[in-house]
């Protein structure tokens, strides 16, 4: 046994602000529970049967008290709700320049793919001081990516991308857990988040390097799966040019306008009929069942790189 | 009372007369026996879980066994113990007595509901015996239909059947409260236990059918391959969570509202004083039941639901805490200038107020969106709902059981032992579950059979608490049985309480009252600590 830990280690990000909110809640709890317990014990002792105490003038206008404590609880509760909501909203708004890492959860491991093509399992190396955005998918059932030291957690629901972001400031090794029950080895589905100083991280990437970048691997798949036959120059079918698509608004056949994020690209590949780009025939075949999550991440990374090229 | 006319226990004595009885008092006893049985099974699973968690390694049972243990613990404790516990036992027994009705409105339906419960329980136990279920009591999708290799269908059908027991009981209580009140028993003269049973019944009737449909959809997907929740079949896993929690959050109130009602009986009875703010306490139950239907999304803050939905659900969750706070303040205010006695039921009520307050306040942590991101699916949640459902509901159940024991059995239980058990239960409970708050805040996920060594000390404390708790729970089992044989005979009104149920014999005659009481005043009427019963013509 190793001592009596009472405070989770902290790797930066919103952990500090989160802890402040937690302390606020602890204070409210201790004061309220303390007050209730104090009154219970005080009244119990003072007004116990057989003990002589002044029992005249019992409170008559009870509704004044009712209104009083109802309003007081309501105000405190609304204050806490607003505090918690404000932090939550910021927690879900990633900064623009975040580094994007693809994560796939499956029974019972976490796989990560870095933009440079580096891959790892049950480990995630990230640079300190940089915003990291995880684009996550599950290959089977629901998992949940949880790093207590960052106070962040996100369920990964199969059939769609979920994303979360964080910024770790303190180099070190921190627990990575799966927080959503997922079967036999749920308790063993985890590993470590390693936060490295930026230069050490650059070195780590280099040592791991040698592969092609994720987008470059995606480009090869784009040819291998025959996407380029339609989307490439001189394609046989009239299909949209994917340059500059990513990140922009897309007008759909049914009149809606959606933003072309990674969810849109994913759904375009797996369920092309669900959102058809305006002005085109719905002839794109579905690749569901043919493209696994790992390859999908590469294709998405490639389409993303086209978007940036086109926009830039 | 010696050689007195036959009461409901002695009127007939054959086994048949029990198994086919339509007397609400006998059916209550049938339920008592059955929920005790399920409590023991669920408790046994808890013991094994706590034993496994004494060490960080998974060394006592296999991971798959562990997963089956916590599933069995949850399924049995929620659907076969907590949901039916207070309404079908104490509620069944006391409700008609409090209204001075001869029975519930539909006595045969009442018996049928027990058979539904037993049939459901039998199926679920069969699923356990065949090899168990490994989904967790929440049956999250797509795990439950596509990945679990346990006897999911069987267990789910068991829960489905027992749901009919809930619905029929709720229906029975609602009609009884509307139609069978004694003359003079207006709504604002109803004991608060009746108000809370009524609110509970509304939830039972409205929420349980949603659970039933949801479970059938799960079976349709698992057995027939109809895609509803599994994305591989075109379904949506979050749909399951929405539908499941649409029932299961209100189910929390099914489990705790009756407990709140009991405490609202105990506090004035032992403070021997009019309850403070009767109407506020009564309507707070209704408010909890109503708002409780609008907060289910607080179980899904990190599940990928829209941010705006999360904001609304967080806000409503704070709102539902207000009526609970109102209750606590009113109980405390009732003590002011009372003539307080500390018999075992009152000790349980005190324990309830403390633990329910902590359980409620820690709910505020979980409703605070940002904090929930960190502590959801950790031991913090586990601790929180055990404070509400074990610290709260089970304490109140024991409080009510001691309070009405003389009425039910005609015997007095040994007061010293009962007080000792109440105190031991309080300490054992806190030792078991307080460390789990710390564990959750440290980041220990739930449903883990193995964990990093730095968490061990808190798990050891928790397991030590669990053994204390086990002893405390076993004590009443012994002294209650003892009292059946050697306990002193109980007078009609051993506590000097005011409700109608104390005006008839202990135990009551089969038809409850020899003469129908005419209610002349509200409940809890005490003058200078002296009770004034609700009716005077009996
Ligand atoms: Cu998991
Ligand atoms: Cu809830």
pLDDT at A311: 45
DSSP B105-164: S-HHHHHHHHHHHHHHHHHHHHHHHHT---STTTT-TTIIIII--S-HHHHHHHHHHHHH
pLDDT at B1: 43
Q: Express each pLDDT in A226-281 by its tens digit.
A: 898 888 877 677 888 888 889 888 889 888 899 898 999 999 999 888 889 888 88
Would the pLDDT of B532 be above 80?
yes
Per-residue exposure over B190-206, b if at least 16 CB sit within 10 Å of its own CB, e if not = bbbbbbbbbbbbbbbbe
Distance from CA of B307 to the nearest CA of A (A): 7
Q: Hey, is the C-beta of B373 within 8 angstroms of any chain A C-beta?
A: yes
pLDDT, average across residues A169-179 = 96
DSSP B87: I
pLDDT at B91: 97
A51 C-beta neighbours (distance < 10 Å), count: 10
Residues of A in contact with B237 (CB under 8 A): 142, 157-159
pLDDT at A200: 95
Tokens at A224, concatenated: 């291998």
pLDDT, average across residues B515-532 = 92
pLDDT at A228: 87
Q: Express each pLDDT in B294-320 by its tens digit.
A: 999 999 999 988 889 999 999 999 999
CATH number of A99-207: 2.60.40.420
pLDDT at A44: 93
Q: What's the CA-to-centroid distance between B226 and ligand 2, angstroms?
A: 28
Candidate from B67, B231, B307 with C-beta closest to A89: B307
Candidate from B146, B322, B333 with C-beta closest to A77: B322
Please tell me the number of the ligand nearest to residue A185's CA. 1
Residues 124-163 of B with CB under 8 A from A: 134, 136, 140, 142-143, 146-148
pLDDT at A96: 84
What beta strand segments (E) does B261-343 contain? none
Would the pLDDT of B118 be above 90?
yes
Kindly give the residue spans of alpha helices, DSSP state H, lying in B272-305: 278-291
Half-sphere exposure of B220 (CA within 13 A, CB side): 12
Q: Express each pLDDT in B312-345 by its tens digit.
A: 999 999 999 999 999 999 999 999 999 999 999 9
Domains, chain B: 23-536 (1.20.210.10)
pLDDT, average across residues B454-468 = 96
Chain B residue nearest residue A180, CA to CA: B377
Hey, where are the domains in chain A?
99-207, 214-305
Candidate from A2, A14, A158 with C-beta closest to B231: A158
pLDDT at A13: 77
Q: What's the CA-to-centroid distance between B30 and ligand 2, angstroms?
A: 31
pLDDT, average across residues A123-145 = 95
**CB-defined contacts A:B, below 8 A:** 265
User: Per DSSP, what are the bridge partners of residue A258?
Assistant: A250
Q: Do B374 and A152 lie within an 8 Å CB cutoff?
A: yes
Would the pLDDT of A308 be above 70?
no
* C-alpha dist (Å) from residue A209 to A103, A111, A117: 18, 17, 8
Residues of A in contact with B369 (CB under 8 A): 84-85, 87-88
Candidate from A3, A151, A182 with C-beta closest to B143: A182
Distance from CA of A234 to the nearest CA of B (A): 35
pLDDT at A203: 93
Closest C-alpha to A224, from A276, A273, A288, A295: A295
Map residue B362 onto helix, strand or coil: helix
Mean pLDDT (chain B, rounded)? 94
Residues of B in contact with A2 (CB under 8 A): 453-454, 456-457
| Beta carbons of B114 and B162 less than 8 angstroms apart | no
Q: What's the CA-to-centroid distance between B84 and ligand 1, angstroms?
A: 31
pLDDT band at B6 (very low <50, low <70, confident <90, very high): confident
ipTM strictly over 0.85? yes
Map residue B9 onto helix, strand or coil: coil
DSSP B504: S
Q: Express each pLDDT in A40-65 by its tens digit.
A: 999 999 999 888 888 887 777 778 88
Q: Express each pLDDT in B395-439 by its tens digit.
A: 999 999 999 999 999 999 999 999 999 999 999 999 999 999 999
pLDDT, average across residues B162-173 = 97
| Beta carbons of B201 and B535 less than 8 angstroms apart | no
What are residue B504's phi and psi, to 5 degrees? -105, 175
> Over pLDDT 90: what percentage of chain B?
93
Q: Express each pLDDT in A191-236 by its tens digit.
A: 999 999 999 999 999 998 767 899 999 999 999 998 988 888 776 7
Q: Do A186 and B276 lie within an 8 Å CB cutoff?
A: no
Tokens at A289, concatenated: 């069942």
Q: Express each pLDDT in B151-162 by its tens digit.
A: 999 999 999 999
User: Per DSSP, what are the bridge partners of residue A156?
Assistant: A143
Which residues lie below 8 Å from residue A151, measured CB to CB, with a gap of 6+?
A8, A13, A14, A15, A18, A19, B370, B373, B374
Q: Do A177 and B443 lie within an 8 Å CB cutoff?
A: yes
Which residues lie below 8 Å from residue A79, measured CB to CB, with a gap of 6+?
none
| Beta carbons of A69 and A102 less than 8 angstroms apart | no
Chain A residue nearest residue B237, CA to CA: A157
Would the pLDDT of B3 be above 70?
no
CATH superfamily, with its number, for domain A214-305: Cytochrome c-like domain (1.10.760.10)
Tokens at B6, concatenated: 């036959």
Q: Do B319 and A77 lie within an 8 Å CB cutoff?
A: yes
pLDDT at A310: 47
Distance from CA of A150 to the nearest CA of B (A): 8
- Could you tell me how far CA B323 lies from the centroid of its own chain? 19
Map residue A278 onto helix, strand or coil: coil
Q: Do A22 and B371 lie within an 8 Å CB cutoff?
A: yes
Q: Do B373 and A88 lie within an 8 Å CB cutoff?
A: yes
pLDDT at A309: 55
> Residue B294 and residue B284: Cα distance in Å, rounded?
16
pLDDT at A210: 66
| Of A95-99, A236-240, B169-173, B183-187, the least confident | A236-240
């Amino acid at each position: 046994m190793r001592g009596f830990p009472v405070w989770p280690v902290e790797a930066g990000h919103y952990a500090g602000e989160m802890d402040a909110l937690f302390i606020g809640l602890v204070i409210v709890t201790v004061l309220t529970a303390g007050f209730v317990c104090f009154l219970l014990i005080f009244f119990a002792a003072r007004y116990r049967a057989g003990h002589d105490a002044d029992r005249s003038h019992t409170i008559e206008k009870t509704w004044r008290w009712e209104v009083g404590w109802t309003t007081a609880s309501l105000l405190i509760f609304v204050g806490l709700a607003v505090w918690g909501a404000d932090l939550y909203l910021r927690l879900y708004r990633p900064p623009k320049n975040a580094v994007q890492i693809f994560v796939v959860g499956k029974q019972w491991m976490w796989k990560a793919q870095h933009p440079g093509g580096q891959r790892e399992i049950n480990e995630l190396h990230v640079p300190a001081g940089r915003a990291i955005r995880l684009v996550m998918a599950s290959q089977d059932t629901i998992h949940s990516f949880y790093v207590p030291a960052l106070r962040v957690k996100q369920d990964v629901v199969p059939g769609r991308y979920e994303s979360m972001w964080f910024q770790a400031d303190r180099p070190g090794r921190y627990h990575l857990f799966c927080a959503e029950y997922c079967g036999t080895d749920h308790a063993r589905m985890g590993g470590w988040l390693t936060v490295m100083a930026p230069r050490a991280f650059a070195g780590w990437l280099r040592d791991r390097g040698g592969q092609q970048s994720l987008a470059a691997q995606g480009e090869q798949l784009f040819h291998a799966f025959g996407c380029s036959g339609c989307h490439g120059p001189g394609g046989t079918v009239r299909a949209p040019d994917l340059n500059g698509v990513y990140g922009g608004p897309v007008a759909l056949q049914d009149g809606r306008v959606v933003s072309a994020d990674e969810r849109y690209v994913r759904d375009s590949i797996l369920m092309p009929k669900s959102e058809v780009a305006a002005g085109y025939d719905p002839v794109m075949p579905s690749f569901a069942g043919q493209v696994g999550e790992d390859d999908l991440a590469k294709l998405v990374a490639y389409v993303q790189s086209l978007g940036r090229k086109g926009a830039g | 009372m010696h050689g007195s006319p036959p009461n409901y226990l002695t009127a007939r004595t054959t086994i048949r007369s029990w198994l086919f009885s339509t007397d609400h008092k006998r059916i209550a006893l049938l339920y008592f026996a059955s929920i005790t049985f399920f409590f023991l099974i669920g408790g046994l699973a808890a013991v094994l879980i706590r034993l496994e968690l004494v060490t960080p390694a998974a060394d006592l049972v296999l991971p798959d066994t562990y997963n089956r243990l916590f599933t069995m613990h949850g399924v049995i404790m929620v659907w076969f113990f907590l949901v039916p516990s207070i309404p079908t036992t104490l509620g069944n027994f006391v409700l008609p007595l409090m209204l001075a009705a001869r029975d519930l409105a539909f006595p045969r339906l009442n018996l049928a509901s027990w058979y539904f419960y037993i049939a459901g329980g039998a199926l679920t136990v069969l699923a356990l015996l065949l090899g168990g279920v490994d989904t967790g009591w929440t049956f999250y999708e797509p795990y439950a239909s596509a990945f679990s290799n346990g006897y999911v269908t069987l267990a789910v059908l068991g829960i489905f059947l027992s749901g009919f027991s809930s619905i029929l009981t709720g229906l029975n209580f609602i009609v009884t409260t509307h139609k069978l009140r004694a003359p003079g028993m207006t709504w604002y003269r109803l004991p608060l236990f009746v108000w809370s049973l009524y609110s509970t019944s509304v939830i039972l009737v409205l929420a349980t059918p949603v659970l039933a449909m949801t479970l059938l959809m799960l079976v349709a997907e698992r057995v027939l391959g109809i895609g509803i929740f599994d994305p591989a079949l075109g379904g949506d896993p979050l749909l399951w969570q929405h539908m499941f929690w649409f029932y299961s959050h209100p189910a929390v109130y099914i489990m705790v509202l009756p407990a709140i009602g009991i405490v609202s009986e105990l506090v004035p009875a032992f403070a021997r004083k009019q309850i403070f703010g009767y109407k506020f306490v009564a309507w707070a139950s209704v408010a909890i039941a109503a708002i409780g239907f609008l907060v289910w999304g607080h179980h899904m803050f990190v599940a990928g639901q829209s941010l705006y939905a999360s904001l609304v659900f967080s806000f409503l969750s704070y709102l539902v805490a207000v009526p609970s706070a109102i209750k606590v303040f009113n109980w405390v205010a009732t003590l002011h200038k009372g003539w307080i006695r500390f018999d075992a039921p009152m000790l349980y009520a005190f324990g309830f107020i403390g633990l329910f307050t902590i359980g409620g306040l820690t709910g505020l942590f979980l409703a605070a969106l940002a904090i929930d991101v960190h502590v959801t699916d950790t031991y913090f949640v586990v601790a929180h709902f055990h404070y509400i459902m074990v610290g709260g509901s089970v304490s109140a159940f024991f409080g009510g059981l001691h309070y009405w024991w003389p009425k039910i059995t005609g015997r007095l239980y040994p007061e010293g032992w009962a007080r000792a058990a109440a105190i031991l239960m309080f300490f054992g409970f806190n030792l078991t579950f307080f460390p789990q708050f710390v564990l959750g805040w440290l980041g220990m996920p739930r449903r883990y059979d193995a964990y990093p060594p730095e968490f061990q000390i808190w798990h050891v404390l928790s397991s030590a608490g669990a053994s204390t708790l086990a002893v405390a729970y076993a004590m009443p089992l012994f002294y209650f049985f003892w009292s059946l044989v050697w306990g002193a005979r109980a007078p009609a009104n051993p506590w000097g309480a005011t409700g109608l149920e104390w005006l008839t014999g202990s135990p009551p005659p089969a038809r409850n009252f020899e003469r129908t009481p005419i209610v002349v005043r509200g409940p809890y009427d005490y003058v200078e600590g002296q009770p004034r019963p609700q009716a005077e013509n009996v």
